[in-house]
Structure 1
């Protein structure tokens, strides 16, 4: 029975567009998609208002590389999905009925009219699927943001106070990494996102508490032009670094140098020592550019102090070069207040 005849004649381009929409909206398997594409490609022009095609299985096999059995399964899937109709001849073969002059009068094979008739429906379903996928990808993006924030907070806690116990938070972080679904999976995302947001909040609260209740995130509040703002903020931040406080906060680190009496000697000492613990020249240049020479030098001695004092055997800083590079980026982004860290470490050493 021929039905689903479209009210308006469609072109071959319309058929290809409908086939593409059907593949997405109906979730067709790859084999069915391939066969549908070949059926549309076989089409030439409507016959008596019907979109008829009659390719043999041999033709379809040559074009797709599928076996005869796979072709039959794919055709059955397309018929069940309601995008094509079978037009069987008496002997089960597919062929065109021609006049004596060679004009095609009818054909036995498949009717593609339902595919074209359902184009608007398929478009609506495809749009809904794509919107769902966009919303789902946005949730995965939020998970990525929370995961990175949690990782940076763990680094910050380790740098802020060497004796702080973050084993429970590290274990929860690793559990959530294993629990998080892949973007290609069909598992629900919202429950995992909620857990990541909770961990992120917990880590930030613990970090702020360790800073004495002071939120150490950068607050951007100026009306300078972009270049003036950057230069002014770098000068202001460098003026916050107090050399006596730094020396008191990092006694083990300064034990590697003879004496540091001014900022120039501090910079020279840091530049001379950075290679000894595996900090690459590119990481040092990046630090100088991003946070300024004085803060880069102070950050180096803070990292060296943590690295030197770590005698636990676990080696919290397994890669000093990578740790220093990440530490500098967190200072630049405002996630670590270097001056506050130095004051905190000095107070800890005094007790």
Structure 2
């Protein structure tokens, strides 16, 4: 056990109360305390930021530890090392004497070692007759051993902080990537939303990320970015659910109408027979005239009929749609259309070609259903130059469908009649 007497500095170095406190704390070693010096030194290296020492000072501490003869630092043995400046400089990788003295002072100030100066300021050892050390003067490693538990806890805490910071940086990187790709997907799929505002907010958050990221300044930014990502995901999921609901509704209506294929009135809602047709002729003629003058479709407008359920259109078989509108087939995947999905894909291409705005087409899908909106786009394409403004015409049809004043039947039948005109009877 080290002597409990106070060692004042040699020469002009003054004594201070802080130095006295560090000496006393360095002597407060619990009985039986031992540590492997190299494992303890590694903990010091890991806790360097918390201890306030530099890497050069750690080089000097490494050299001092190499002069301790045992691997285990023990409170039961002497903890004073007494190398000369020449030998200490050699083991400190040839460090200059002035630099060596400066970093020794740093270690003393950090409370990792203490000085035990001799009467003349030299470092030496006095041995007994048996060769054992009676008294040694030099640098005491007792403060390092006394603070072993504190240093190990500090090193573990800093290592955990580094791990948390690394994990937080990974989360931040993934979140940034997700937001960029989700916004790109939303713009590609023309999902309704304030995507310019979302993108601006995202870049504002990115500019707030400091170059030197620390554990205390990342959590608020990460929370805001994850909240923004969740908002984008909710918007996309809501749009997907709306599309699925529209598709299921169209499939349900198509199943009902096909359940009785013998009924012409159920299959073709826009065709009436007998007295009902004569009763509605005047109403249809008025609507048709109004649509022609408003849309400028070359005098060949399709008739609108009154429907009891606004916005709920009945679909027709895909084969009938393609028979009436064969021009859209070449815009399908691979130049063919074999399903409603292929037709809807082709309709998106046609929409862009005819310069129909994404909001106009989205509104049509919402009101009519995605399959019926695709059918309408096929009909508009089939009419070709007969319609001066495809976007305006689609908006008018959407508005009529929302008010229950539009049916797909007359539109398709008109195109079928143009393609296959009736044969005149020979009298």
Could you say whether these structures have the same fold, taking a TM-score greater than 0.5 normalized by the shorter chain as the test?
Answer: yes
The match for 2:106 is 77
- Distance between the aligned counterparts of 1:344 and 1:93, measured in 2? 99
Q: What is the Cα deviation at residue 189 of structure 1?
A: 1.4
**Closer, same or farther: CA 141–256 of 1 in aligned 2, 3 Å:** closer
**3-state SS in 2 of match to 1:198:** helix
Q: Which residue of 2 aligns with 1:115?
A: 144
Tell which deviates more after alignment, 180-189 or 72-81.
180-189
- Tell me the residue number matched to 1:208: 237
Partner residue of 1:31?
A: 56
* Structure-1 residue corresponding to 2:79: 51
Equivalent of 1:22, from 25, 31, 44?
44
CA distance in 1, matches of 2:212, 2:53: 20
Instruction: Indicate if the aligned counterparts of 1:32 and 1:75 stay in contact, CA closer than 8 A.
Output: yes
Please show how residues 66-215 of structure 1 align to structure 2 within 5 Å: 66-98=95-127, 104-161=133-190, 166-181=195-210, 185=214, 188-211=217-240, 213=242
Question: What are structure 1's unaligned runs of at least 5 residues?
Answer: 217-241, 264-294, 312-341
Paired residue secondary structure (1:90): coil
Change (3 A) 1:53 1:204: same
- 2:88 matches 1:60: yes
* Structure with higher RCO (Cα < 8 A, 6+ apart): 1
Q: CA deviation at 1:84?
A: 1.1
Q: Cα–Cα, structure 1 residues 157 and 101, in superposed 2: closer, same or farther, change >3 Å?
A: same
Alignment of 1:41 onto 2:66: yes
Contact kept, 8 Å, 1:52 with 1:109, in 2: the verdict is yes
| Structure 2 gap ranges (5+) | 1-5, 7-22, 246-317, 356-369, 379-393, 395-427
Alpha-carbon distance in 2 for matches of 1:160, 1:7:
73
More off after superposition, 144-153 vs 47-56: 47-56
2:276: which partner in 1? none
- Rg comparison, structure with higher value: 2
1:8 CA drift (Å): 1.8
Counterpart contact for 1:208–1:214, Cα < 8 Å: no
Distance in 2 between residues matched to 1:32 and 1:344, nearest whole Å: 78
Displacement of 1:144 = 2.8
Structure 2: how far apart are the matches of 1:347 and 1:161? 19
Distance 1:186 1:142, change over 3 A: closer
1:260 is aligned, of 336, 349, 358, to 336
Question: Deviations for 1:311-342, whole angstroms, at most 9, x for unmatched residues?
Answer: 9xxxxxxxxxxxxxxxxxxxxxxxxxxxxxx9
Aligned partner of residue 106 in structure 1, secondary structure: strand
Structure 1 stretch 106-115 or stretch 204-213: which is displaced more? 204-213
Verify the 8 A CA contact 1:6 1:116 in the aligned structure 2. Answer: no
Structure-2 change in CA distance of 1:161 and 1:9 (3 Å): closer
Matches within 5 A, 1:6-21: 6-8=30-32, 10=34, 14-21=36-43
* Alpha-carbon distance in structure 2 between the residues aligned to 1:69 and 1:157: 65
- Name the SS of the counterpart of 1:91 in structure 2: coil
TM-score by length of 2: 0.47
How far apart in 2 are the matches of 1:61 and 1:253? 85
| Residues 72, 172 of structure 1: alpha-carbon distance in 2 compared, 3 angstrom cutoff | farther
Q: CA deviation at 1:147?
A: 1.8
Give the 3-state SS of the residue equivalent to 2:59 in structure 1. Answer: helix
Distance (Å, rounded) in 2 between the aligned partners of 1:190 and 1:56: 51
Alignment check: 8 A CA contact 2:112 2:141 kept: yes
What is the CA distance between 1:200 and its match in structure 2? 0.8
User: How many residue pairs align between the two structures?
Assistant: 251
In the alignment, is the contact (CA less than 8 A) between 1:161 and 1:345 conserved in 2? no
In the alignment, is the contact (CA less than 8 A) between 1:143 and 1:193 conserved in 2? yes
